[in-house]
Structure 1
Amino acid sequence: MLQYLIVCPLLFLAGFIDAIGGGGGLISIPAYIISGVPVHNAIATNKLSSCMGTGLTTWQYWVNGYIRPKLALLCVAAALVGSPVGAEIALRIDADVFKLLMLVILPVTAFYVLKKKDIGKNEEELSFKKTAVISVAAALIVGMYDGFYGPGTGTFLMLLLTGAAKLDIYTAAGTTKAINLTTNIGSMMIYLLNGKVIFLLGLAAGVFNMAGNFLGARFFRDKGSDIVRPIIMVVLVIFFIKILIEMVG
């Protein structure tokens, strides 16, 4: 019961944050671990609850017209190619080297977000070809990052799609969710086949995650970039603190 009391409220918060700016895993995975779930089971069970929440948000964004099918499919394919490449790189490079790099990247990203007060409000609109090329490249790079390390994947993808591909905040969010859902389902299937998922806890937490995602998507629909910017800053700060703790620990 104590596990449920710890995990479920935090999964609600993770879902709310993830629906708006990505990075929900920075809250949900530690929630499982703090409650006493072993690391591998925590990651696996989190995939189940995250798939439930992300699936609901993806459906909401689809209904609201935030997902361009052709663009989303291209990005999903690129992310699925990048993820195993990143996993292969992870086997060859010490993770501490990457963490040191992230301690530089995260403050730079935070500075960009602070300076960029109109995220996703682009006056310049690129042709579909240019948008697709840049979006696919962003999805490939972030997919590699997801396979290599993972936390904050949705946040980084949102920033790249709005900043480099010049997508509006809503299309960027829809594309990001389509990618997140696909990669989460792929990972979850592997964990299910290996018997690592704790079903009752994952399903209960998934319901709370869906509720958080639902409210987060509603806030995003009404507030747009006004709510995205502070949420992304929160994610970046949590991520930075997480890496510092890992490095010191």
Structure 2
Amino acid sequence: MSVLWILCPIVAIGAIIDSIAGGGGLITLTAYVAVGLPPQIALGNNKFASTSGTTIACIRYIKGGQVDWRVGTLAVILSFAGSLIGSNLAALYADLYLQYLLVFLVPAIAIFMMVKPNFGQARERTKQATLFLSGASGLVIGAYDGFFGPGTGMFLTLIFTSVIGLDLLKSCGTAKVVNLASNIAALATFIIRGNIDYGIAIPCAFSSILGGYIGSGLALRGGAKVVKPVLLLVLFLLLAKVVLGMLGIQ
């Protein structure tokens, strides 16, 4: 029970961040491991709770009209294919190469966001370009998720904004839909393998639902003024995780 007093508030905070910009798992998964859960149980519990929070966030974004289904549907389909490719690559190559890349890439993305005055504003693209870019984005980010994973939702939001041309809020909503699909697939695997401690997972799921509701509401009301600083925060957390991992500190 004492573990839940620690986990539930952290999971709620992580869900707020995740529903706004993605990347909440950088906080919540660390918390599950920190309280002593075995790695596979920590992953299963994290996926169980985060799927609950993501579902609520998705519903609010959909009701708010902040999901581009043309982009999201194709990205969902190809993200599954990308995840299969990435997970197979992970079995062949060390993720250290990607970590070195992220050390340079993440600060570059943060600087780009800060110095580009029109970042997050919608841009018109042709239907053909939108379909091609959404499919390519789903494939690439799905491969990243299967190979490494942290910050997947954040990268989806960034790509939907800077590459496909959605406004920042619609990018968040669309990224949530893509994330939910992959979360459900992964959650099914954890349930089948028995990698969930329901005594911890269910209370944390309620915390995640609360966080997802609050976070999506903040994003819908505040728009880019809320989303952009949270994206920068998640970029910083990802950079910190990668650097600490390379130093052997988990």
CA displacement at 1:110 relative to structure 2: 1.2
Q: Deviations over 1:40-79 (max 9, x none)?
A: 1101111100110001111111111112334321110011
Measure how far apart 1:117 and its partner are: 4.0
Secondary structure of 2:246 counterpart? helix
Q: Which residue of 1 aligns with 2:45?
A: 45
Identity of aligned residues (%): 30
Relative to the length of structure 2, the TM-score reads: 0.96
- Which residue is equivalent to 1:10? 10
| Unpaired segments ≥5 residues, structure 2 | none
Q: 1:168-199, CA deviations, whole angstroms, 9 ceiling, x for partnerless residues?
A: 22321121011100100100101111100111
CA distance in 2, matches of 1:94, 1:81: 20
Q: How many residues align?
A: 248
Aligned residue for 1:121?
121
1:74 & 1:108 partners in 2: Cα distance? Answer: 28
Structure 2 match to 1:247: 246
Quote the Cα distance in structure 2 between the aligned partners of 1:118 and 1:228: 14
Residue 125 of structure 1 aligns with an amino acid whose one-letter code is: E
Equivalent residue runs for 1:170-249 within 5 Å: 170-249=169-248
Q: Secondary structure in 2 aligned to 1:94? A: coil
Residues 3-42 of structure 1: per-residue CA shift (max 9 Å, x gap): 1011111100101001111100000100101111111110
Counterpart of 1:99 in structure 2 is 99
Q: CA offsets per residue over residues 90-118 of structure 1, 9 Å max, x none?
A: 11111112211111111111111211344
RMSD (Å) for aligned C-alpha atoms: 1.2
Deviations 1:204-240 (A, max 9, x none): 1111111111111111011111111110111111111
TM-score by length of 1: 0.96
Question: Is the Cα–Cα contact under 8 Å of residues 87 and 147 in structure 2 kept in the other structure?
Answer: yes
Matched residue type, 1:244:
V
Q: State the alpha-carbon separation in 2 of the partners of residues 5 and 117 from structure 1.
A: 42
Alignment of 1:68-87 (within 5 A): 68-87=68-87
Aligned to 1:139: 138
